[in-house]
């Protein structure tokens, strides 16, 4: 695994140095918070990283570590009736665990469930 340090933060874009062993599309963990990001450009030992979480508070000198694996998600029947963010974290479960309203999308989820009932239950009924 390559370990580098942040040299620049501009919104969701982070540039890190000393990332020579990293590859395009590697998933990386950014800062002590271990935010999830993906390498979108490599130039020599400099990696441009798209961070998929809030980057406010990040700054130069913080650590970056590659996983040497591309971004991937699991597919299967367990996904039906659930709603995830862009990196497959279940929004409703996060809300239940933390009590935090993640964003407007979650409010939309709750409205849809209120209007149409539990999608998972409806799918089970349709299969019978």
Give per-residue pLDDT as tens, 105-122.
Answer: 566 666 666 666 665 555
Q: Where are the domains of the chain?
A: 3-70, 77-127
Instruction: Identify the CATH class of 3-70.
Output: mainly beta
Question: Is 61 exposed, middle or buried, given 0-12, 13-18 or 19+ CB atoms closer than 10 A?
Answer: exposed
Is residue 42 within 8 Å of residue 9, measured between CB atoms?
A: no
Question: What pLDDT band is residue 127 in, cutting at 50, 70 and 90?
Answer: very low
CA 33/CA 91 separation, integer angstroms? 19
Please report the pLDDT score of residue 77 as a whole number: 75
Give per-residue pLDDT as tens, 61-95.
Answer: 999 999 999 988 777 777 777 777 777 777 777 66
Please report the pLDDT score of residue 115 as a whole number: 65
Give per-residue pLDDT as tens, 17-32.
Answer: 999 999 999 999 999 9
Please report the pLDDT score of residue 82 as a whole number: 76
125: left (phi over 0), alpha (psi -120 to 50) or beta: alpha
């Amino acid at each position: 695994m390559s370990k580098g340090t942040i040299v620049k933060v501009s919104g969701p874009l982070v540039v890190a140095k000393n990332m020579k062993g990293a590859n395009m599309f590697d998933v990386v963990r950014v800062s002590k918070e271990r935010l999830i990001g993906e390498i979108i450009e490599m130039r020599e030992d400099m990696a441009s990283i798209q961070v998929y979480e809030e980057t406010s508070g990040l700054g130069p000198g913080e650590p970056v570590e590659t996983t040497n694996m591309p971004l991937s998600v699991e597919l299967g029947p367990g996904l039906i009736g659930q709603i995830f963010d862009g990196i497959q974290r279940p929004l409703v479960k996060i809300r239940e665990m933390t009590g935090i309203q993640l964003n407007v999308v979650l409010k939309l989820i709750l409205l849809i469930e209120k209007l149409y009932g539990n999608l998972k239950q409806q799918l089970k009924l349709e299969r019978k």
